Amino acid sequence: MAARRLDPQIAALLQQMQRQGVPPVHTLTPIQARESRNSLFVKLGGPPEAVAKVEDLNIPGPAGHIPIRIYTPQGSGPFPVLVYFHGGGWVICNLDTHDSICRSLANGASCVVVSVDYRLAPEHKFPAAIDDAYAATQWVADNASPIEGDPTHIAVGGDSAGGNLAAVVCLMARDRGGPSLVYQLLVYPVTNLSSFDTDSYREHGEGYILTKDGMDYYRGHYVAHEDELRNPYASPLLAQKLSGLPPALVITAEFDVLTDEAEAYAKRLKQAGIPVTYTRYRGMIHAFFSLAAAVSRARDAMDQAAAALRSAFVK
């Protein structure tokens, strides 16, 4: 029944991966997982769009420096800015795996995109990633002019683990009194590491790109101590209050273990009075936003994200 409701392009991709013997991520070491998955995501991201300028920088961070990649669209600045955090379970992926996404968002939203190469687990466990994510966002706010950015129109965004980081940066910015953020783009975000007890975990925990075993693998590498799982900066769904946060677009996929917790986060944001748009893409699986070369609906989600950002930036 479920297979018949899968998007045909998704079904074909999963069958191809099975034929090619792509190993489940939880059977690999982190280094092997990066070697296996990073090249795959670069390939499936599709041909990169041209932008006016791409620049790699190292900026100060809490543990040395943080590599970032800045995408500048055509036109005259200052431009609004999107600070983007890549997915990958806090363990895999990098600036290259999400290059196509960042280029498309820069063009589609007519904004500077700053992609952040935060520290990865298990070499750097929680809260290293969120510390880097927040520091990079603060750096953008403090240095917007040199990168042709507008410090009054900064948004954050990310997919999967990157969506988790974007949501957490919004909490940190509220709790610490800045920087001021106008929007959060959350693409199938992880919002609750403390529990996998949801219908989406039970129904979609096997057979797709992200599995329950895969999430257990990522969680185990990311968090060192069990009591940290309930920290709102690891599990933003567990934050006591969600008031005072920027408006959000929350995108989920129908066949994804994370769908229920992401939807629950969208509902809690709405209950807190935050303007939220929530869209569940039917027939899609986790990671579809990164699969533009193989899945046409990835373009639909990209167009929705770009339109939401454009609208937020003019307010």
Q: Which CATH architecture has domain 2-313?
A: 3-Layer(aba) Sandwich (3.40)
pTM: predicted TM-score of the whole model, two decimal places: 0.97
Please tell me which residue in 7, 131, 256, 260 is annotated as part of the active site.
Answer: 256
Going residue by residue through the chain, which has 315 residues, state the pLDDT in tens, using 9 for 90 and above. Answer: 344 599 999 999 999 999 999 999 999 999 999 999 999 999 999 899 999 999 999 999 999 999 999 999 999 989 999 999 999 999 999 999 999 999 999 999 999 999 999 999 999 999 999 999 999 999 999 999 999 999 999 999 999 999 999 999 999 999 999 999 999 999 999 999 999 999 999 999 999 999 999 999 999 999 999 999 999 999 999 999 999 999 999 999 999 999 999 999 999 999 999 999 999 999 999 999 999 999 999 999 999 999 999 999 997
Please tell me which residue in 104, 160, 200, 235 is annotated as part of the active site.
Answer: 160
Phi and psi, residue 45, nearest 5° = -70, -20
The answer to whether residue 194 is catalytic is no
Judged by DSSP in three states, 91 sits in coil
Burial status of residue 222 (CB atoms within 10 A of its CB: 0-12, 13-18, 19 or more): buried
Q: In what order do the strands lie in the sheet with 276-285?
A: 53-61, 64-72, 112-116, 79-85, 149-159, 183-187, 248-255, 276-285
Asked if 69 contacts 10 with a C-beta cutoff of 8 angstroms, the reply is: no
The answer to whether residue 225 is catalytic is no
DSSP 246: P
Please tell me which residue in 86, 204, 221, 286 is annotated as part of the active site.
Answer: 286
The answer to whether residue 213 is catalytic is no
DSSP 49: P
